[in-house]
Structures are given as C-alpha cells and as structure tokens.
Structure 1
Amino acid sequence: MSLTELPPLPYDYSALEPYIDAETMTIHHTKHHATYVNNVKGALEKFPELKDLGLVDLNKAVGTEKIPKEVATVIRNNGGGHYNHSFFWKVMGKPGDNNGPSADLKAAIDSSFGSLDEMKSKFNAAAAGRFGSGWAWLISKNGGGLEITSTANQDNPLQAIVEDKGIPILGLDVWEHAYYLKYRNLRPAYISAWWNVVNWEQVNANFEAAKKGAVPI
C-alpha cells in the first residue's frame, strides 16, 4: 500500500446501496481519504526517511521516537487516517456477497464473546459510545484472543500511543462524514445497517493473517 497514493475502491461508489449511499462514499473516498494521503505526502517530503517504513510500520511508529516531533501530530492524524480508510474500504462489499464468518473465526468469536450476536452487540456499543469522532475495532490480541475496542479521531490499534493494541480484524468509521448525509444524527441506525455490507471474506482473511502475526491492509 503506497504511502503517497490514494488507493482505488474495490467496488463502485454505489455498490453499498441502500445501506451506504453513493454520494457519501464518493465524498468520503475522494475528499476525506485523499486529504489524509496528501497530508502524509507533505510530511514525507520534509522527512523522506519515513518513506522506508511503509504504511503499517509508520502507524506502529506513532507515539515513538521514530517519528520526528515536527510531524508527529500530522503523521498520527493523517497516517492513521490513511491506514484506517485503506482498511475500511476492504472490509465492506456488495450486500449479500458472502457467507459470514469462517468456522475458525466463528470459533474464535464464540470463545471470546460467547456468540456472534454478542460480539456484534458489544461492537455496536463501542461504536455508538465513542464520544465525538473515531472508530470501533475488532482486534486480535498478542495472546490470540479477540477483543473489541475503540479509538478517537484517526488513531488505531497499531499505534504505540493507544491503550488497547492489537491487529485489526474489522473496523467501523463513526466520524459523522461517514454517515451524516443518509442517517443524520442517528449513528446507531448507521451502525446497524453497516452489518449488511460487511465483507466477511475479507474479515476471515484478516483473521488468518493476524494468527500469523501479519497486519492486513
């Protein structure tokens, strides 16, 4: 994944209708995500040595001395935004295109939460309860279990600066720009509808990668 190029969506802007509208997807991708990429590019022009890190390692370096103080905030906000959105686009897809969690992921969910429904309930609560802007995550912990967490703004579980670290398996953007055109202030309605476009095939692949210690992008 390029640090300085906006990745294309893996589907048309209208592919997630009626749950996420085409106008929101167009603005979200071509304006918001593009801005994060452009801001990262500007920071890397000042500190080109950071290009060698790549997007995943750049995020892991947030909150450490690897990131110069002069661009620490820019990298945290925009490097985080670039990774989060690159991840987010892939865990969504056309409604009805896949079959849900794999047997292995379902077993891990059952072990950590009791059931898929209970996992969804806790995930929804984390997403709805995030004050202001941020994300909800299903992550794989170093010990092998799954955990639900949330982060503010464009932070993510890869970053050294966050409290609950792990490898992202699934993530949901709960910034207002992700849902306001269609759902207005009804964030819980957006969260509920979003499950209809979760790309479980990608989530399954993310889980398999995480079991090997690999970070999906």
Structure 2
Amino acid sequence: MAYTLPPLPYAYEALEPYIDSQTMHLHHDKHHQTYVNNANATLDSLSPEIQALTPNALLQNLDKVPTEKVTAIRNNVGGHVNHTLFWELLKVGTELKGDLKTAIKNDFGSIETFKEKFAAAAATRFGSGWAWLVLQNGKLSVVSTANQDSPVMGEKYAGVSGTPILALDVWEHAYYLKYQNRRVDYISAFWNVVNWDKVAELYAQAKK
C-alpha cells in the first residue's frame, strides 16, 4: 500500500511565534511530501514482502532491503517516519509532569541537565539531522542521527538505537526562514512547542 502524507494535527499557524506558518507549509506540504513520493517510487521496485511492512518495521529490517536500495529507503522512508512523528510532538501549552518528569530527573539528574544535553545534541549535529530522546534498556538517553536516520534503524545503520520519545528536526528547512543560521535560537524556541502529553504517551508505550 502506498504511503500518504498525514495531515497536520493542527493549523499551520498553531505554533506561532516559535515556528512560523510559512515554514510549516513548506516543511509539511513540500519537504515531507517529497519523502513520501520518493519512498513510494522506491517501494514500487521492491518485493511484495518488503512492501507489506509498515514504515517503522521496514526501518527496523533494512537488512531485508536490496543493498542498492538501502540508501533510498533510509533517506525517504526515514524522512516520512521521522516527520510523521515530529508533527505529533509539537503543540503549544502542554506541561512536563508525572512519570516522564520523574524519569528524566532520575536518568539525567535534573530537567535542566536533560535540556542542556538535548540542546547540545541538536546544536552540534554537523550538517542535517535530528536530536532524539530515546528509551533503551529501561533508561532515557539523548542521541543524534545524521540525515533522515532514526534510532529505530539500530546501531548498524544509524549509529545509535532506542525507542524515540522526543525528536527535533535540525535540517535547515525546519528553521531557516525564521531563524536563518541561528540554529541555537530555534532549539531554544523548541521547548515552547513540545507536546509533552504525546512524549509521555510514547514513554508509557515504550516501557511496556
């Protein structure tokens, strides 16, 4: 079954002033749509067995993909999966609380230390990529990946592993219209639009 672009779960201007409406239009309607289109084009050339996998399952089973198609799958199915998650993780006005807040304090020492480590992972990712909060072996940690790689791909392909709980897109297309080259300002603004309710939901699911 062909992949489709999921609609944004909110209005394009819902994240103003932290992420502007024009960026959301371009990021979602153009960039994400391109990943969907390219993923579908690549999938058309693959076996029915591979086509039957969900996008996440496909990223977890890259060894089943013909060698000459792995890069296209990583870039485009990865881009589709990462962005689909990213849109769900954005919302203004939620609060970090409950079990997730306790776990972050336990695993990082404080909320401030967690935010510093996450911001550093995002700021120091050379070129394009992502910063992640992941759950692995019962513990939260911060990692980053290049391009459209995801922790679900595992160490062999992404260099890291774990179940994604929170993600920040640090490709320039995610912030350049508003923040230009000021990635650090974009990262700082991100904390105002984290959908902590969704992060807590993902955390609870990952613990099961």
Taking structure 1 as the reference length, the TM-score comes to 0.92
Counterpart selection for 1:187 from 159, 183, 196: 183
Task: State the shift of 1:194 in Å.
Answer: 0.9
Task: Establish whether residue 53 from structure 1 lines up as the match of residue 56 from structure 2.
Answer: no
Match of 1:4 in 2: 3
Task: State the shift of 1:70 in Å.
Answer: 2.9
Comparing 130-139 and 46-55, the one that deviates more = 46-55
Task: Establish whether residue 153 from structure 1 lines up as the match of residue 152 from structure 2.
Answer: no
Match of 1:134 in 2: 129
Comparing 46-55 and 71-80, the one that deviates more = 46-55
Match of 2:84 in 1: 86
Aligned residues of 2:125 and 2:146 also touching (Cα < 8 A): yes
Length, aligned pairs only: 205
Aligned residues of 1:61 and 1:67 also touching (Cα < 8 A): yes
Aligned residues of 2:146 and 2:158 also touching (Cα < 8 A): no
Q: How far apart in 2 are the matches of 1:99 and 1:34? A: 31
Match of 2:43 in 1: 44
Gapped regions of structure 1 (runs ≥ 5): 213-217
Task: State the shift of 1:45 in Å.
Answer: 1.0
Comparing 110-119 and 178-187, the one that deviates more = 110-119
Task: State the shift of 1:99 in Å.
Answer: 2.1
Match of 2:29 in 1: 30
Residue by residue, what CA displacement relative to the aligned partner does 1:88-137 show, whole Å, maximum 9, x if unpaired? 000001x22x222x321111111110011110010000000000000000
Q: Provide the secondary structure at the position in 2 that maps to 1:170.
A: strand
Change in 2 beyond 3 A, CA 1:131/1:17: same
Aligned residues of 1:16 and 1:197 also touching (Cα < 8 A): yes
Aligned residues of 2:9 and 2:87 also touching (Cα < 8 A): yes
Gapped regions of structure 2 (runs ≥ 5): none
Match of 1:215 in 2: none
Q: Provide the secondary structure at the position in 2 that maps to 1:108.
A: helix
Change in 2 beyond 3 A, CA 1:57/1:3: farther
Q: How far apart in 2 are the matches of 1:17 and 1:200? A: 17
Task: State the shift of 1:48 in Å.
Answer: 4.4
Q: Equivalent pairs: percent with the same residue?
A: 54
Q: How far apart in 2 are the matches of 1:99 and 1:189? A: 21
Taking structure 2 as the reference length, the TM-score comes to 0.96
Aligned residues of 1:59 and 1:79 also touching (Cα < 8 A): yes
Match of 1:144 in 2: 138
Task: State the shift of 1:61 in Å.
Answer: 1.6
Aligned residues of 2:32 and 2:83 also touching (Cα < 8 A): yes
Task: Establish whether residue 166 from structure 1 lines up as the match of residue 165 from structure 2.
Answer: no
Aligned residues of 1:138 and 1:169 also touching (Cα < 8 A): yes
Aligned residues of 1:60 and 1:159 also touching (Cα < 8 A): yes
